[in-house]
Amino acid sequence: MPKGISLEVNKVVDDIVEMIKDSLKLGSNKVIGLDIGLSSIKACVVDKSGKNNFKLTRFATVSLPEAALIEDEIQKEEEIVEAIEKVIGRLKTKLGNVCMGMSGPNTVARKLQLAGGTNDEIAEQVSWEAEQYLPFELEESSMAFHNLGENDGGGVDVLVCAVRKDILLNFKELVENSGLKVKIVDLNVTAIINVFELVMGEKLDDPDQSWLILDLGAQKTSFIIYKGNKVQFVKEMNIGGVMITEEIQRQMGVNYEEAEDLKNNGDENGNLPEEILEIIDDVVESFFSEIKKTIDFYISSTSDESLVGCLLTGGGALVPGLIEGLEALLGVDVTVLNPFEAIEYDEKTVHEDMINDIAYRGVCAIGLGMREYR
Ligand SMILES: Nc1ncnc2c1ncn2[C@@H]1O[C@H](COP(=O)(O)OP(=O)(O)OP(=O)(O)O)[C@@H](O)[C@H]1O
Ligand SMILES: [Mg+2]
């Protein structure tokens, strides 16, 4: 089942009574998965029947205008609210409760090695340790942790997730201004990890094999190392597809929409002009050097050299030459994390021509949609 990393939204806001009321209604613990990305908003509904049995029944996406968000700062509130309303309209669902994903510089996902003990003792150790590495004050944050199990040292490994509370509340308000109710808050990285675990299954059992997951988005890339059924390391890198778009805008004197269109769809024949390919190559080189730095940092700080494969998601995975270049850089197979290897979809409501786009850009929303609240 999806890992229960729910940030403490219900402690931050007083809607517990509503939750109890809602939980009396059959099936009402379902949520819409909502991923507010820089380039677009993705929303979906995932049906669950039994353990690890998921079916995507609704999916929709709406593009955002240029710089609607800068990192996690909401720049164009009205446009984002409008886009959320539009995406929910397209979903054609009666559901109004949401699992919202958070990411950005005011979020943290980190594995800690703790002494262990009862749940309360672990919670205390988490708070104690968290003070030392959170980039914001503990009192200003909303935090949750998931016990990953015992480690070799006789203690426990714990995945701690935190968001700065004011940022969380800003996003919650944004979503609720669109007429929805935020019931669960998760991190985008944990949502992606939940899909990754589902897709990879037993392949992840070997304790001596580590995997790299990259979510190459528009404004950032999540870098996740996973080994022995545990998340080991998470870092958000400041590289993403919009860097290519900006370079096309700058060099070719076109606006954001035109540059996006040129990059994603090519010319009138669907080919990428030589000029664009050159720009892509240059920017992608800078991606590779950032990824190399991060992997070198991981290896030097953990001595883990057991990488066996890399799974890619996010629209950036569509950038020409990226997969081949990454394979050369990492020396392992690089494949796209295809959610449909493990999740069915309803052919009546999720059209075949959307499947490819969802496979690349919908993983985070699907991971969020897999959650349910109690
Ligand atoms: N065919 C394509 N070729 C190159 N790039 C593409 C293609 N399709 C989409 N992209 C790029 O992928 C990016 C969008 O990916 P994605 O939807 O994963 O990002 P996001 O979730 O909106 O952003 P973030 O996660 O950084 O907030 C954009 O920069 C877009 O231009
Ligand atoms: Mg994204």
Residue 26, helix vs strand vs coil: coil
Q: What is the pLDDT of residues 306-346, one digit of tens each?
A: 999 999 999 999 999 999 999 999 999 999 999 999 999 99
Ligand 1, atom 7, residue with closest C-alpha = 264
- Predicted pLDDT of residue 44: 98
Count of Cβ atoms closer than 10 Å to residue 176 Cβ: 16
Q: Indicate the angle between helix axes 322-330 and 274-302, nearest 10 degrees.
A: 30
Q: Are 342 and 201 in contact (CB under 8 A)?
A: yes
Q: How far is the CA of 227 from the centre of ligand 1 (A)?
A: 27
More confident residue, 43 or 13: 43
Q: Is 101 in the pocket of ligand 1 (CB under 6 A)?
A: no
Q: What is the pLDDT of residues 53-86, one digit of tens each?
A: 999 999 999 999 999 999 999 999 999 999 999 9
Q: Which ligand is nearest to the CA of 38?
A: 1
How far apart are the C-alpha atoms of 338 and 341, rounded to whole Å? 6
**Quick one: which atom of ligand 1 is closest to the CA of 319?**
4
* Per-residue DSSP letter, 267: S
**Quick one: which atom of ligand 1 is closest to the CA of 40?**
22
Ligand 1, atom 10, residue with closest C-alpha = 315
- Predicted pLDDT of residue 50: 80
Q: Is 209 left (phi over 0), alpha (psi -120 to 50) or beta?
A: beta
User: What is the torsion angle, in degrees rounded to the nearest 10, for the CA atoms of residue 156, residue 208, residue 231 and residue 243?
Assistant: 150
Residue 148, helix vs strand vs coil: strand
Q: How far is the CA of 218 from the centre of ligand 1 (A)?
A: 5
In the chain, % of residues over pLDDT 90: 83
In the chain, % of residues over pLDDT 70: 93
Q: What is the pLDDT of residues 261-301, one digit of tens each?
A: 999 999 889 899 999 999 999 999 999 999 999 999 999 99
- Predicted pLDDT of residue 4: 56
Q: Is 339 in the pocket of ligand 1 (CB under 6 A)?
A: no
- Predicted pLDDT of residue 2: 53
Q: Are 207 and 125 in contact (CB under 8 A)?
A: no
Q: How far is the CA of 36 from the centre of ligand 1 (A)?
A: 12
User: pTM for the full model?
Assistant: 0.93
Q: How far is the CA of 42 from the centre of ligand 2 (A)?
A: 9
Q: Is 236 left (phi over 0), alpha (psi -120 to 50) or beta?
A: beta
Round the average pLDDT of the chain to a whole number and report it: 91
pLDDT band at 13 (very low <50, low <70, confident <90, very high): very low
Q: Which amino acid is at 350?
A: V
Q: How far is the CA of 14 from the centre of ligand 1 (A)?
A: 36
Q: Is 30 in the pocket of ligand 1 (CB under 6 A)?
A: no
Q: How far is the CA of 151 from the centre of ligand 2 (A)?
A: 31
How far apart are the C-alpha atoms of 27 and 267, rounded to whole Å? 47
Q: Is 264 in the pocket of ligand 1 (CB under 6 A)?
A: yes
Question: Which H or E run contains 259?
Answer: helix 256-265
pLDDT band at 6 (very low <50, low <70, confident <90, very high): low
What domains can you pick out in the chain, each with its CATH number? 9-243+281-369 (3.30.420.40)
Q: What is the pLDDT of residues 228-265, one digit of tens each?
A: 999 999 999 999 999 999 999 999 999 999 999 999 99
Whether the predicted pLDDT of 42 surpasses 90: yes
